Each structure stands twice: as structure tokens, then as C-alpha cells.
Amino acid sequence: MVKKARPRNPKRIRDLKEKIQMDDYLLLAISRIASLLAKEILGH
């Protein structure tokens, strides 16, 4: 039987679930991730 992990911070998880429904937040998050990946790959 697989046990479901309890969230460490349910309020933060609830807030993030609401935020990912907003296009502006999602675009900003994707942009930040892309920037971090580019820096890692290019070594800057």
C-alpha cells in the first residue's frame, strides 16, 4: 500500500495551487526557471 505524504506546509501549498492558476504568475515562474537553467548550462 502506498502512503500519501503529508504536506509540510499546507498553507503554502494551498497558496501555490491558487497562484498557478494566474497567467502572470505562471509566466514569471517559467521565466525564472528558464533563466536559472540557462545560467547553469552556460556556467555564468
Task: Say what the pLDDT of residue 8 is.
Answer: 82
Range of the domain at 20: 10-42
1-44 confidence digits (pLDDT tens): 677 767 688 899 899 999 999 999 999 999 999 999 999 999 87
Let me know if residue 5 belongs to a domain.
no
Let me know if residue 2 belongs to a domain.
no
CB-based contacts of 19, cutoff 8 Å, min separation 6? 25
pTM greater than 0.85: no
Could you give the number of structural domains in the chain? 1
Task: Say what the pLDDT of residue 3 is.
Answer: 72
Distance CA 32, CA 29 (A): 5
